[in-house]
Chains A and B, each alone.
Chain A
Amino acid sequence: MLDRESRKPVGADLIIPVAAGAYAIYYVLSVRSFPWQAQMSGMILAGLMLLLVLIYLARVAIGLRRGRYSMGFGDFFGAPASRASRAIFVALIVAYIFAVPYLGFTLTTFAFLALSFHVAGARPVGRALLTAGLAALGGWFFFIVLLNTRFPKGPFEQLMGAIF
């Protein structure tokens, strides 16, 4: 048996198998009332998935019993110093998804980039704002003006459309 510090933390390693196993069970439940021809392929896949998950869980259980593994998360969340800024970054991504239908691509991208640069620690602020502005305008010009890509449009795109 290894000492506490030398044990390999496997807590985070269980996220994918547990999520995959849970989805396989949900999938089986969602097809349970179908005719068997429609169930078959899904059932085989779910069966394979659950078999692999069970083998993995058995491996982890044996490792825990023999003292080779621990249920810790190791460096899963990265360096503690940057955890808060990365959590805010994730929140900004969610905010971007909710804001883009209203503000459009250019304004949302500018706000997202400026705030993300600031949160990530980019200094001086003026350079970060300038980079965000140039990137958003460059994206607007390249994707919307030149390529006519179907990006979400907001007040800025409408204003530019009215002017030009």
Chain B
Amino acid sequence: MEFDAAFITGLFLHSFSLWWVIIPAVLIGIVMGAIPGFAAHNTIIILLPLTLALDVEVALVFMVALYSASHLGGGIPAILLNIPGTGGAAATTLDGYQMTKNGQASKALAVCFVASVMGGLISSIVTLFALPALSRVGYYVHSVEMVVIMLFGLALIASIAAQDMLKGLIAGAFGLMLGAMGADHIYATPRGTFGFLELFDGVPLVPALIGLFAISEALVMLEQKWLVDTKGTVAVPATTWANSLSETLQAFRKWWLITWTSLLGLVIGVLPGAGASIAAFVAYQQARLFSKTPERFGTGFSDGVAAPEAANNGVTTGTLVPLLAIGVPGGSTAAVMMVVLQFHGFPFGPRLFVEAPELAYGVITAMAVSYVFMFLTIVPMVRYMSRITVVSTMYLAPMIVAFTLVGAFVPRGFLFDMGIAFAFGIIGYVARKTGYHVAAILIGVILGPLIERSFILAMRISGNDPMVMFSSTIGNILWVLLLLSLLLPVVTGRWRDRRAKAAGRSTGASR
């Protein structure tokens, strides 16, 4: 299939024809994104029975629309309540809430929406045109390189996303161990299954996903009565439609800032583990660095809302790139999508571009179209947004458990799988409470069997010579990068500690 203007036009028209999926997904995504602590992947997991029942294309479009809308929704409570709905909106609070306190809430929301929509649109269009080149990357990646890439991705998630690198690595390795459960690839003999026949094929991914993300989230959620403490929040003055329109049009003047910060978000999003929160803070810091009026940042400056929001939404397509190009999920939502693709029997990486190019490219065009629909649906909702965040956990947590637990039963029809979801829920709860990264565990569980398969293949091809792992140039470069990604944070951390101690000593001496 030729990647030409006719193909792209066809993809866009097809994506627009799926408006009946995109609009509900956008509405759900905005509402769920505005609920603090309730990330897109959690919503997708709750609706997993729905996505598993739908056609794979419709399911993927639903998921990407919901995912991108939740990134936009996260900025709403960040601006109105000083509480980011998603991690990516944390940097938005710095100037967004100041604008609300200055009586400019509707202007801040307009800038947030325009930056989010433009940022998402620009990054998805750039990704769409880069994908033909990126899809060829997979052809240069063989079993040896795959092992290193997967370990590299997992190490990056562990070292960047987790607060403590050692804990992140333990979480990732634990996930890999659990993923290696089940029959071995050569003699089909069960390993580490505790004697359960239901684990012969390995850990089922849907129950693991539901347990690690949804059940554990519900258990943590019940520790407080409300998701948001509404004390001390600022009342939002009502605004007219004319005002909203004028503020929205004014926000478009920041097109250059929005463009480069969204591309920054896209690049950061491609790195596994470096998610929206990192991208948003980097964009905020860079926008201040290159600003003519850096002193205005932090005082309620609209550029301080536009930059992080554009980067936050630029990340959305970036996280899908590793999944589409080489079949390695770049984050939690991509991992959920990978589980759904696997359930429907679709391949990942270069094979997806060969066997179902409409699906591979269609995911990105659907994301771009979602941003168009988002813009049309968000403006009328602005006035009612702040109420969304006031949700009682007494009702929310049991509903999450009831609807996700039964979702674990759907793929295989085993009641045992609900028990697996519960067990992973307990693991997820412990991990969340003690600072181990649940996404690292899940990605480990997903990558465990894939790494093992590539490793065994490489060993067989080389006649069981372990040095084959260091036989390719790309692989060796990746080994060096893997080592650097593990060592650099330790070295720089120690160097910073020493500098801080030295600075403390010199201050003490000067007194």
Contact = CB atoms under 8 A, between A and B. Distances in A.
A76 interface: yes
Contact of B409 (A49, A56, A147, A151): A151
Residue from the set B180, B225, B398 with the largest chain A CB neighbour count within 10 Å? B398
A93 B406 contact: no
B405 interface: yes
Contacts of A62: none
B173 A93 contact: no
A76 B395 CA distance: 23
B10 interface: no
A16 interface: yes
Interface in B410-427: 410, 413, 415, 418-419, 422, 425, 427
A155 interface: no
A45 B180 contact: yes
Interface stretch (B310-318, B343-351, B372-380, B431-439): B431-439
Contacts of B431: 16
B392 interface: yes
A79 interface: yes
Contacts of B422: 93-94, 97
A96 B419 CA distance: 10
B393 interface: yes
Given A16-B434, A93-B405, A143 B50 contact: yes
B477 to A, nearest CB: 21
A15 B405 contact: no
B398 A149 contact: no
A34 to B, nearest CB: 6
Interface in A1-40: 12-13, 15-17, 19-20, 23-24, 26-27, 30-31, 34-35, 37-38, 40
B398 A143 contact: no
A76 B394 contact: no
Contacts of A116: 397-398, 401-402
Contacts of A136: 402
Interface majority SS (helix, strand, loop, mixed), chain B: helix
Nearest to A78: B223
Contact of A90 (B173, B177, B219, B224): B219
Interface residues of B, number: 64
Interface stretch (B107-115, B130-138, B452-460): B452-460
B166 interface: yes
Interface string B428-450: 00110111100000000000100
Q: How large is the interface on A (under 10, 10 to 19, 20 to 34, 35 or more residues)?
A: 35 or more
Contact of B394 (A90, A112, A122, A135): A122
Interface stretch (B63-71, B119-127, B183-191, B289-297): B183-191
A117 B184 CA distance: 44
A84 to B, nearest CB: 12
Given A20-B173, A20-B177, A120 B456 contact: no
A49 B187 contact: no
A85 interface: yes
A69 interface: no
A13 B434 contact: yes
Contacts of B215: 93
Interface string A115-156: 011001110000000010001100100110001111110000
Interface in A60-108: 75-76, 78-79, 82, 85-86, 89-90, 93-94, 96-97, 100-101, 105
Given A23-B178, A79-B223, A97 B49 contact: no
B171 interface: yes
A112 B402 contact: yes
Contacts of B167: 13, 16, 56
A45 B176 contact: yes
B464 interface: yes
A116 B422 CA distance: 16
Given A82-B223, A97-B418, A97-B422, A49 B177 contact: yes
Given A96-B405, A143-B49, A56 B170 contact: yes
Nearest to B187: A38
B188 to A, nearest CB: 9
A147 B173 CA distance: 38
A133 to B, nearest CB: 13
Given A30-B191, A100-B415, A149-B53, A86 B434 contact: no
A109 B395 CA distance: 13
A41 interface: yes
Nearest to A85: B222
B67 to A, nearest CB: 21
Contacts of A19: 174, 427
Nearest to A24: B177
B320 interface: no
Residue from the set A16, A46, A89, A139 with the largest chain B CB neighbour count within 10 Å? A16
A58 B402 CA distance: 41
Contacts of A152: 406, 409, 415
A20 B170 contact: yes
B192 interface: yes
3 cross-chain pairs, A with B, having the tightest CB-CB distances, nearest first: A116-B398, A78-B223, A120-B394
14 contacts: A13-B435, A16-B431, A27-B180, A30-B192, A34-B189, A38-B184, A49-B177, A78-B223, A85-B222, A86-B223, A97-B419, A109-B406, A120-B222, A120-B394
Given A27-B192, A35-B186, A82-B223, 19 more contacts: A15-B430, A15-B434, A20-B173, A37-B456, A40-B459, A41-B451, A49-B174, A56-B167, A79-B223, A93-B405, A93-B425, A94-B422, A96-B402, A100-B406, A109-B402, A131-B395, A142-B50, A143-B53, A149-B50
Interface of B: 49-50, 52-53, 166-167, 169-171, 173-174, 176-178, 180-181, 184, 186-187, 189-193, 215, 219, 222-225, 392-395, 397-399, 401-403, 405-406, 409-410, 413, 415, 418-419, 422, 425, 427, 430-431, 433-436, 448, 451-452, 455-456, 459, 464
